[in-house]
Amino acid sequence: MSEKLLLPGLTFPDLEALVKDLGEPAYRARQVNDWLKKGSGFEDMGNLPKAFLEKLAGRAIAQPVQIASRQVSAMDGTEKYLFSMLDGHCVEGVLMRYRYGLTLCLSTQVGCRMGCAFCASTLEGKLRDLKAGEMVGMALVVNRLCGEERVHNIVLMGSGEPLDNYDEVVRFLRIISSPDSLNIGIRRISLSTCGLPQKMRQLAREGLPVTLSVSLHAPNDDVRRQIMPVAKSVSMEELLGACRDYAQMTGRRVVFEYALIKGVNASPEHARELAGRLRGMLCHVNLIPLNDVPERNLRAASPGEINAFRQTLEGSGISATIRREMGADISGACGQLRAQYLKNPLNPKKEDQSP
């Protein structure tokens, strides 16, 4: 028997075709879709005939993910989720509250194979790609939890390299930005990549001008190779060339993520070198206070070092800000909650941990 379809991963025309194939009138597709947009499962679809739902359930799955754990920060209201998939794998998501609305951070893979030294989500390697239906499903169940509020922005910055799961991520972007789904403006979506030039240029041609956030974390190849294995095959020159092309083709500025690691990439000399490389590009640098990763023996730069780095960049004409730490009391960084769960799977903490 063929694998069941994931309904959240279908476009509306796909859903119409499925309903027609089941011998049902076309309006059933709109009825089903209205429920899907609410993050509902078949059990919620009370206005639909039982016989139709049984036929549909034989071919498809309405909600492929569940929230196994939800933690709420007592500090800033940030919410951390551990999502469980149908095959038992789990990934994370984070809901952050800003004055301009709710931002949801989602994963694109179970684990990650990129091996960045500062990231906890890569410690177990990549187990598999997420399907578009799973990514959409995560957004739908969180949006349902938000009640009167709703998710306004999405960042693909959880576990995984989005451009390493290119086709499913692009499908997710097209669905989630559609009026038939959450209708999140494509310019309200950010995609984080460690830097795959060919895929970056391909994305620029998709007509999906998301904000591209590039994990740079170094001012030169020597430093970058110490902490990012991808730098062994992609030079700074190649990467920054692709960034310039993306900015030119989409008209969007590129955001460079830069985690400041004590004794590795956080000196004033590093800041000056970085500024020289970025001068003239439509870009912004997002400086990130490192979340310590004990397994990698990496420590965060001090607040004084971080501020000095920012001032050096700004003094050289490079736009820069320091990312506000959110959810620190609930393992807010990528991979931390999943890593804890994998160490202790018998205690998934399904209960809400609210303030």
Q: What's the Cα-to-Cα distance from 234 to each of 240, 294, 323, 334, rounded to whole Å?
A: 10, 27, 26, 23
CA distance 59 to 25: 17
Given 90, 105, 243, 334, the catalytic residue: 334
pLDDT per position as a tens digit, 90-109 = 999 999 999 889 999 999 99
Please say if the pLDDT value at position 76 is more than 50.
yes
**Residue 260, both tokens:** 């400041």
Q: What is the pLDDT of residue 26?
A: 95
With a cut of 80, say whether residue 132 has pLDDT above it: yes
Residue of 40, 94, 41, 85 whose CA lies nearest to 65: 85
Spatial distance between the Cα atoms of 189 and 185, rounded to a whole number of angstroms: 7
User: Is 146 among the residues known to form the active site?
Assistant: no
Per-residue pLDDT, 324: 80
DSSP string over 50-99 = HHHHHHHHHHEES--EEEEEEEE-TTT--EEEEEEETTS-EEEEEEEEET
**What pLDDT does residue 320 have?**
98
Residue 338 reports pLDDT greater than 80: no
Q: Higher pLDDT residue, 222 or 112?
A: 222
End-to-end CA distance of the chain: 47
Domains and their CATH numbers in the chain: 5-60 (1.10.150.530), 64-183 (3.20.20.70), 194-324 (3.20.20.70)
User: Which tens digit of pLDDT belongs to each residue from 274-291?
Assistant: 999 999 999 999 999 987
Active-site hit among 92, 168, 257, 305: 92
Pairing of strands 189-193, 211-215: parallel
Residue 325: predicted pLDDT: 73
pLDDT at 340: 54
Per-residue pLDDT, averaged over 329-351, amounts to 52
Catalytic site includes residue 334: yes
pLDDT at res. 292: 67
Tokens 């709109």 locate to 30
Q: Please tell me the predicted confidence (pLDDT) of residue 126.
A: 87
Mean pLDDT along residues 157-165: 95
* Residue range 297-319: mean pLDDT, rounded: 95
pLDDT at 87 over 70: yes
Q: What is the pLDDT of residue 119?
A: 73
CB 182 within 8 A of CB 36: no
Mean pLDDT taken over the chain: 91
- The whole-number average pLDDT for the span 293-303 is 80
How large is the average pLDDT for residues 117-125?
Answer: 72
| pLDDT the model gives residue 355 | 30
The pLDDT value given to residue 331: 58
Is residue 119 within 8 Å of residue 112, measured between CB atoms?
yes
Average pLDDT over residues 243-258: 97
pLDDT of 341 reads 52
CB neighbour list of residue 22: distance below 8 Å, 6 or more residues apart: 52, 55, 56, 59
Where does the pLDDT of residue 339 fall: very low under 50, low under 70, confident under 90, or very high at 90 and above? low
> What does the block give as tokens for 173?
């972007």
CA–CA distances in Å: residue 150 to residues 136, 154, 184, 308: 14, 11, 10, 37
Average pLDDT over residues 130-159: 96
* Interatomic CA distance for residues 225 and 229, integer angstroms: 6
pLDDT at 114 (0 to 100): 80
Question: Contact 69/349 with Cβ under 8 angstroms?
Answer: yes
Is residue 66's pLDDT more than 90?
yes
pLDDT score of 298:
82
- Look-up of token digits 């620190």: 328
